[in-house]
A and B are shown apart, each in its own frame.
Chain A
Amino acid sequence: PQLADQKTLARQIYEAYLKNFNMNKAKARTILTGKTSNPPFVVHDMETLQLAEQTLVAKMVGSAGALKDREAEVRIFHCCQCTSVETVTELTEFAKSVPGFSSLDLNDQVTLLKYGVYEALFAMLASSMNKDGLLVAYGSGFITREFLKSLRRPFSDMMEPKFQFAMKFNALELDDSDLALFVAAIICCGDRPGLVNVSHIEVMQESIVRVLQLHLLANHPDDTFLFPKLLQKLADLRQLVTEHAQLVQEIKKTEDTSLHPLLQEIYRDMY
């Protein structure tokens, strides 16, 4: 009966993942390996960026026209924020579908999201990356790593650490069913600062982590160390988010750019 419960939990989490996230690894890999009839538009310089803005991301950038005269770095930063806000919204809906999450103390739900969403976001972002670039605009565009690196500082420092993480993370060859449980484990984490009912969350965390371990053994029988490797990735993601939050604070201080209110809430008093 216990094994049946664990399989049910794994299935519920996987279904919630497929339902709530617009992009997933299977979709992204189909596009990145050229198996679609419509290959993504490649952004590799200022000219192709402008072309992409006129077509693919017109809604994001051009809505108020407020950004059209701003420099490319600021426009890209704004696009990143829009994507982040969408993913945070998807992650919130995903979290609510994880059995037990919605019955947690509401303030604890907020704390789990505040600290978990960026770790989850960077873990999932790896699915849309290869060594040369990143899928954007729901997979209709591909922005090259070299172009992102060529932006002026501090914007050029934004994505390179995520590519470096993604290359190592992608080498683990997780599929969407593994990622669903991994993302759930990131969110249901008992040691986030300020949690009120830690024991309640630890019970949830324990069952998700156990299900993740069993699922990995079944899904990757040849990689017996995959589970401990993934636990290490949790620590790496925490470090990645800490550095990202510092960079965003620096950009906020030194650049004339606005930060979306939802992201401000998340970053404020984070670490």
Chain B
Amino acid sequence: KEKHKILHRLLQNSTSPVEL
């Protein structure tokens, strides 16, 4: 799970932006 933190976050929370 730790290996794919951002993907997990994107899947669980649509409002969380990915910082460029």
Beyond A85-B20, A89-B18, A260-B20, whether A265 also contacts B4 by CB under 8 A is: yes
Q: Contact partner of B4 among A63, A86, A89, A114, CB < 8 A?
A: A114
Interface size class of A (residues with CB under 8 A): 20 to 34
- Tell whether, in the assembled complex, residue A109 and residue B11 are in contact, meaning their CB atoms are under 8 Å apart: yes
Tell me the count of chain B residues lying within 8 A, CB to CB, of chain A. Answer: 13
- Tell whether, in the assembled complex, residue B18 and residue A85 are in contact, meaning their CB atoms are under 8 Å apart: yes
- In chain B, positions 1-20 with a C-beta closer than 8 Å to chain A are 1, 3-8, 10-12, 14, 18, 20
Beyond A106-B8, A260-B20, whether A265 also contacts B14 by CB under 8 A is: no
Chain A positions within 8 Å of B, measured between CB atoms, are 60, 63, 82, 85-86, 88-89, 92-93, 96, 106-107, 109-110, 113-114, 260-262, 265-266, 268-269
Beyond A96-B11, A113-B11, whether A107 also contacts B6 by CB under 8 A is: no
Q: What residues of B have a CB within 8 angstroms of the CB of A85 in the complex? A: 18, 20
Beyond A60-B20, A82-B20, A107-B1, whether A262 also contacts B14 by CB under 8 A is: no
- Tell whether, in the assembled complex, residue A262 and residue B11 are in contact, meaning their CB atoms are under 8 Å apart: no
Beyond A109-B11, A110-B11, whether A262 also contacts B18 by CB under 8 A is: yes
- Tell whether, in the assembled complex, residue A268 and residue B3 are in contact, meaning their CB atoms are under 8 Å apart: yes
State in angstroms the CA–CA spacing of A269 and B3 once bound together: 10
